[in-house]
Amino acid sequence: MNKMKLSIIIPVFNEEKTLKEVINKIEMVNLIGNLEREIVLVEDASRDLTGKIMEEYEKKEGFKVIRHKENKGKGASVTDGIKAASGDFLIIQDADLEYDPDDYNKILPMLLNGEAEVVYGSRFLKEESIKKMTWKQYFSNKILTIFSNFLTGLKLTDMETCYKAFTKKVADEIKNKLISERFGIEPEITARVKKFEIKEVPISYKGRSYGEGKKIGWKDGFSAIWQIIKFNIFKK
C-alpha cells in the first residue's frame, strides 16, 4: 500500500538568505500519519543567488524545481506549484522564516481524519504570533479578513495567512481556475474554496520587516480589496 504524501509548495523570489534554512526545517519535521513529503520549489526569476542555490535541489529525491524565465509574482508561483504537486494533501510555505514548518502537524490532523477539506493556519488565534506583527500588519490583515468574510460568508480569523492546506480534491478543483499573479492569490484561493469545509488552527508567526526582505506593501493591500470583490462577485 502506497503511503500518502504531503506536497509543500514554496514560491521563491530573492530568498538567498533564508531558503536553505527553510528547506532544512521542512526536512526535519517528522510528519504525522507517516506521510511522505514532496517539496515543490518555484523560482520566480530571482535577481540574487537564489537561482544558484536551487541547483542543489533539482536532482534531489523528493524535490520538484520549477523555474520562471521572468518574474511573474507569488500568485503565479503558487498556481504553478499546485499544478505540479502530486501529493494527497498540499500546503503553501513561504521561503522566508516567518512561518514554522513544525506547525504542519497542527494543520494536518483535520485533513487526515476528514474533519476538513481545507485548513488555514491562523496567526490571530495565538497571542504570541499577534505580538510578532507590526501594528500595520495587524490592522491591514484584520480589515482584509473581515471584508473577505463579509463576501464569502466565512468566519475566518486570518484570510491572508500563508499556511493554506487542502486535499488533492480541492487542489484539482481550483488549480485551473486560479489567475492571480501577485498577492491577490490569498483572497482568490479563499473565494474559490469557500464551498468546502474549512477549519482554522493557531500557528506560530515571526513577522519580518521590509529591511529584512518583506515584499508585500500598501499597494498590495488596496489591490487585495479589489481582488476580494472581483473573485466573490464577478469571477466564477
Q: Which domains does the chain have, with CATH numbers?
A: 5-234 (3.90.550.10)
Bridge partners, residue 92, by sequence = 9
d(CA 27, CA 29): 6
Residues 143-163: what's their mean pLDDT? 97
Burial 19-55 (b: 16+ CB within 10 A, else e): beebbebbeebebebebebbbbbbbbebeeebbebbe
Bridge partners, residue 37, by sequence = 6
* Confidence at 64, pLDDT banded by 50, 70, 90: very high
DSSP E strands: which ranges in 68-125?
Answer: 89-92, 118-122
Return the pLDDT at 212: 46
Other residues' Cβ atoms within 10 Å of the Cβ of residue 59: 8
d(CA 1, CA 20): 32
Q: Which residues contact 55 (CB under 8 A, 6 or more apart)?
A: none
Return the pLDDT at 234: 82
Cα torsion 223, 224, 225, 229 to 10°: value is: 110
pTM of the model: 0.92
d(CA 23, CA 102): 12
Q: Among 39-48, 131-140, 171-180, 209-218, where is mean pLDDT lowest?
A: 209-218
